[in-house]
Chain A
């Protein structure tokens, strides 16, 4: 069972990173790399949170928040993934076996989080509609009310989504811990790593393919990375 203090801290973290995603201040604290690592630190296993964050960041490379399009919301889901990956007192093998579940849960959670953003925008619209006359008259207090309501509701939304994810996923992790013994830690890491790097690679390709000579730039990077791998 998770201690209430830990749950509270994770909820607060989820609220902050969720607010950061769209409303304030868009400093990219909501990216999986940040959110999952901090969640791991809150749960006492920063390394596990970082590992989950790195894998999720590769997936997240493909989903950028363009305009009003629907996109996954990574922050609260990544906080939950970091908490799930950070099994208390676990060795590397147990963490590794838990990673595919943590990543999968975060990917599914990010879609649910994205849907709650759609509801938030609809709610914001209803608030703005309530103040329609005042806004048309240039009432500054109406502008402030609409803005602050949106910010506060987004903060609460993200915190609630995070708490629900954590409360659902951490007990699921406890139930799964014994049942995943059949698959080794190395195999779990290999599958999660290959999928994440493969998806991340294709995402980068989509971004850079319009650049003249992009193959050469990618090749130069690969050569540098390979050299570093041999030397380090």
Chain B
């Protein structure tokens, strides 16, 4: 494969910033398709004929159709699609790629971000709270830690996608995507294991007398919810129990 043509810095920045709004018109038919065209549009202006050219309009029409992926890893697809269009790849290949990469990009992003990095950062912030951090400290821990990886993942995705073009499957084999979720899940187990009891301890700081009983009850509830997880969501059970307590506290 030939080296990727260099994109102007301004074009990179426009595409990168627009990637953060890739889900801006999310709907049940084209999903994030319109967002993909919206994000890639600044780069398509470099196609032969510019904004008035047939290639530009054809690319915009192609990429505003159905597309779905994890929003952060959509950057990988946008980078690859921009490269493919600028390289003048055959339309059939581009269409095949669009169809083929939806599933893997969705699954990889869900595992790495929604089921890994996000709960890990939540647990880390809860740990900071449990250890006595101020409100500002807790927020900076959460928002800062989360977004360092969030922004880096989008930037990496755009660069890797553009570098590899339609051979972006190579990037999907990156250690970050392949083994990252496993390492994050291990870290989540350790951090959450430490955080949750400390949270309860700090919440009850003014009245710590029965904390042992409460920790035991929380552990029992967690085990029961884990056992029933196929039948119901834990938070729905929480709502019902909280509602019962609220009714009791009002009518008593």
Contact = CB atoms under 8 A, between A and B. Distances in A.
A44 B133 CA distance: 19
Nearest to B127: A225
B185 to A, nearest CB: 5
A54 B140 CA distance: 14
> Chain B binding site: helix, strand, loop or mixed by DSSP?
helix
B38 A144 contact: yes
Contacts of A94: none
Contacts of A209: 226
Contact of B189 (A47, A183, A199, A218): A218
Interface residues of A, number: 109
Interface string A33-61: 11001101100001101110011011111
A155 B173 CA distance: 37
A22 interface: yes
A198 B217 contact: yes
B193 A138 contact: no
Interface string A112-124: 0000000001101
Nearest to A214: B189
B196 A33 contact: no
Interface string B203-233: 1101100100010011111111110010001
A188 B250 CA distance: 12
B108 to A, nearest CB: 13
Interface residues of B, number: 102
A183 B123 contact: no
Given A47-B135, A104-B242, A143-B38, A24 B21 contact: yes
A211 B198 contact: no
B38 A193 contact: no
Interface string B226-252: 100100011101110111011011101
Contact of B60 (A25, A66, A139, A232): A139
Nearest to B120: A207
A204 B188 contact: yes
B238 A225 contact: no
Given A137-B57, A193-B204, A207-B185, A150 B221 contact: no
B49 to A, nearest CB: 12
B238 A61 contact: no
Contacts of B223: 202
Given A206-B226, A208-B189, A225-B193, A146 B61 contact: no
A128 B194 contact: no
B126 interface: yes
Contact of B197 (A47, A55, A149, A229): A229
A33 to B, nearest CB: 6
A224 B193 contact: yes
A137 B196 contact: no
8 contacts: A47-B135, A57-B122, A143-B38, A149-B25, A185-B207, A202-B224, A204-B123, A225-B196
Given A28-B121, A100-B249, A232-B131, 14 more contacts: A22-B26, A31-B142, A50-B135, A64-B114, A68-B31, A104-B246, A128-B25, A135-B64, A192-B242, A198-B220, A198-B238, A200-B192, A204-B193, A205-B226
